[in-house]
Amino acid sequence: MHRKAEENYNGSKISVSDISTISSNNSQRYSDNPLGTNDFGQFDIIDDLDYDDVDDGLIVDQELLHQYREAIIRQLYEGEKKFLETLEFILNTYLYPLRKNTKTSTFNFLGMKKAPCTEKEMIWLFSNIEALYKVHIENMDTLEERLSIWGPTQIISDIIQTRLAQTRKAYINYFDQYGTMITTFERLSRYQPFKKFIETVESNSKGVNLLMLLKSPVDCVERYVVQLTKLADSTSTMHPDYIGLMQCKQRVQVLDVEFKAPVNDALNVDKVYQIHLKMTGQPFGVKAERRIILQDNFTRPNRLSGEETCYFLFSDMLVFARQKSNTLQYKGHILLQKSKVRPNVNDFSVEIICPFQGVDSLNTTFMGSPTTHVIRTLNKIDQTKWITCLEAVITKLQ
């Protein structure tokens, strides 16, 4: 793919007669100079300085730098190619077949024709994967076009800066819809026609997992930041693309800062989902807007002995469960919207007071008494931390 540029000096070749003429002229010039002999003697000093070795070293260093830069560009190309193949696999293996089944409703389940999902659910599940695919196809086409005329002095920063702007827009939309994507997958994975469809696909494609594929764009921004920063740093200051690549480096570093919060938020969504999968018996599902704020394990005393309780403070409620081998056994949860929190002055525990709750039955309202749950933290630091986080969540909910 890469082609070495072959250039002739001034586009012409020097003949043997030209060399003779140059030598004759030089001889005449030095013979006309009365100090010519002394001038030649001064070259002994230059010989002692070993300039030939210095030049050879510089040439070797420049060649190594050029090879390293070529390797980074190759990594950029291969990374884009591999990611594009991932997006193509998602579309061809999951999205297009699901779209066809949804329109024809030919999926047979218990003798009834049921589609694995609705068109709306398909939009939520696959987010903007098709838009990402289009952006990366254009990235790849532009990159291949430039590499087809590649040479040692060829620039690449101009197309990178143009494509970064388009890529940025697509990834903003992807992260905005990330929570909905995970929530939709969790809900559909409990729907038998969709579950059967996924199992059929994954049985034919060993090692494939739809959720992992849908989450693959999360790492793409970091890949760009690392590779483009390395490319800029490995480009010589004398290279015609040096200034342009330094501008690219500054731009991707700005993108890195901009996407730090969305990436962390996506990781938080993943963590909430994993907690949900690990827990058994909970009467609630995953919500797109739910985030994990704080979690800890504390020993909760009972009549026989102490048992370790896991507390999960989410952005909308507090959940407590018991650790049981590799699973979490749900024990209860508290909706925090109108709750109050106070420290226990006798120890390091935290008291959460739930408000009065009305229950309407046959137009008659029964009021339940407020309940108090106690988190027995281990020290003053833990107590302060939990009170601060609980109050922040309650304030935000109100």
Asked if 271 contacts 188 with a C-beta cutoff of 8 angstroms, the reply is: no
Distance, in Å, from the CA atom of 203 to the CA atom of 68, rounded to the nearest integer, reads 42
Q: Tens-of-pLDDT digits for all 398 residues of the chain?
A: 443 333 333 333 333 334 334 334 444 433 444 334 444 444 444 444 444 444 555 555 667 777 888 899 999 999 999 999 999 999 999 999 998 877 665 555 445 578 899 999 999 999 999 999 999 999 999 999 999 998 888 999 999 999 999 999 999 999 999 999 999 999 999 999 999 999 988 888 777 899 999 999 999 999 999 999 999 999 989 899 999 999 999 999 999 999 999 999 999 999 999 999 999 999 988 899 999 999 999 865 554 555 788 999 999 999 999 988 889 999 999 999 889 999 987 888 999 998 755 444 444 444 456 688 889 888 899 999 999 999 999 999 98
Asked if 322 contacts 331 with a C-beta cutoff of 8 angstroms, the reply is: yes
* Whole-structure pTM value: 0.77
List, as one string, the DSSP characters of 18-69.
HHHHHHHHHHHHHHH-TTHHHHHHHHHHHHHTTHHHHHHHHHHHHHHHHHHH
pLDDT given for residue 90 in this prediction: 96
Q: Map out the domains of the chain as residue ranges.
A: 61-258, 283-397
In CATH, what is the architecture of 283-397? Roll (2.30)
Distance, in Å, from the CA atom of 312 to the CA atom of 394, rounded to the nearest integer, reads 15
Give 298's strand partners. 309
Asked if 205 contacts 86 with a C-beta cutoff of 8 angstroms, the reply is: no
Residue 375: Cβ within 10 Å count: 24
Question: Is CATH 1.20.900.10 what the domain over 61-258 is classified as, yes or no?
Answer: yes
